[in-house]
Amino acid sequence: MKTVDTIKEVREIVNQQKMQGKTVGFVPTMGFLHEGHASLIDKARQQNDFVVVSVFVNPMQFGAGEDLDSYPRDKQHDTQLCQEHGADLVFFAQVDDMYKKGFCSYVDMDILTKELCGLSRPVHFRGVCTVVNKLFNIVTPNRAYFGKKDAQQLAVIKRMVLDLNMNVEVVGCPIVRESDGLAKSSRNIYLSAEERKAALVLSQAIKIGMEQVKGGETDCKKILDKMKQHIENEPLAKIDYVKAVDCDTMQQVAEIKQPVLFAMAVYIGSTRLIDNFYTEDV
């Protein structure tokens, strides 16, 4: 496995592989890697000849007052995890290389980004679309792997690839959880012991919602009310949103007639956590 930190080196190495007819799988991340990221690397390893992982805390997708500076970083641990999961190349992208002086080109998206996380994080998806577009241009992958944990991001990337005719297959991968149910996240490290316990209300609410769907309930409001009620019982939790949306358009729906995504963002203390389930997966 090689680690590099310039765009030039990534291009040279990937070009060599492509000239030999190899397929390239790509896993973009912000680092501080855990088993959720590892599951994406494993999937990429199964489906491609050459696996590239990028690690980049992308300043453009953080709003003012968000956790850009405090976002956890651990290059040594990330390198080791990538090695253990059979990655071929890890790209530790650098801000100055990614955003050259005078940078002023962006990829933006309407509709899908105006709901859920897009409402409380208005600049977030412009940053995500721009950086993923750039990384796709640099890595030129055949397939790219994204977690369903960030369900809106997955929908946005799929839409961007479709709308802009990008030659990449986007593969969505299941949420990896801790043994007690909490969705794995690099941000879980922000939680105190007390908050870590309180954070279980997210996955518990997901379970409550899934049970409702399993039981045949199709009225989204009834399902959402039960989920919200559970979260509101936890004093350390503050709901940003708990919503039911169409899986592709991210627009709110009242009834389960087509595949629906139940998604939530909840503050536990000052840490904002997300979780979700798709009715398709129930």
Binding residues for ligand AMP (CB under 6 A): 29-30, 36-37, 39-40, 146-147, 149-150, 173, 175-176, 183-186
First vs last C-alpha separation in the chain: 38
Which is closer to ligand AMP, CB of 220 or CB of 245? 245
Which is closer to ligand AMP, CB of 31 or CB of 256? 31
Take residue 63 and report the two structure tokens written for it: 């709003």
Q: Are 232 and 239 in contact (CB under 8 A)?
A: yes
Catalytic residue among 34, 37, 85, 230: 37
DSSP state, residue 215: T
Find tokens 């050459």 and name the residue. Answer: 50
Which is closer to ligand AMP, CB of 44 or CB of 256? 44
Nearest-approach distance from CB 108 to ligand AMP, in angstroms: 19
Q: Are 52 and 91 in contact (CB under 8 A)?
A: yes
Helices (H), 145-192: 151-163
Round to whole Å and give the CA distance between 56 and 78: 11
Which is closer to ligand AMP, CB of 66 or CB of 232? 66
Round to whole Å and give the CA distance between 139 and 113: 25
When CB distances to ligand AMP are compared, the closest residue is 147
Nearest-approach distance from CB 37 to ligand AMP, in angstroms: 5
Which is closer to ligand AMP, CB of 183 or CB of 231? 183
Q: Report how far apart, in Å, the C-alpha atoms of 34 and of each of 31, 95, 177, 184, 210 are.
A: 9, 23, 10, 7, 25
Query: Residue 159 burial (CB < 10 Å; 0-12/13-18/19+)?
Result: buried
Dihedral over Cα of 117, 53, 131, 145: its sign: negative
Nearest-approach distance from CB 6 to ligand AMP, in angstroms: 21
Nearest-approach distance from CB 177 to ligand AMP, in angstroms: 7
Take residue 277 and report the two structure tokens written for it: 């389930």
Tell me whether residue 37 is one of the annotated catalytic residues: yes
Round to whole Å and give the CA distance between 125 and 153: 8
Nearest-approach distance from CB 259 to ligand AMP, in angstroms: 18
Nearest-approach distance from CB 233 to ligand AMP, in angstroms: 24
Which is closer to ligand AMP, CB of 185 or CB of 279? 185
Residues taking part in catalysis: 37
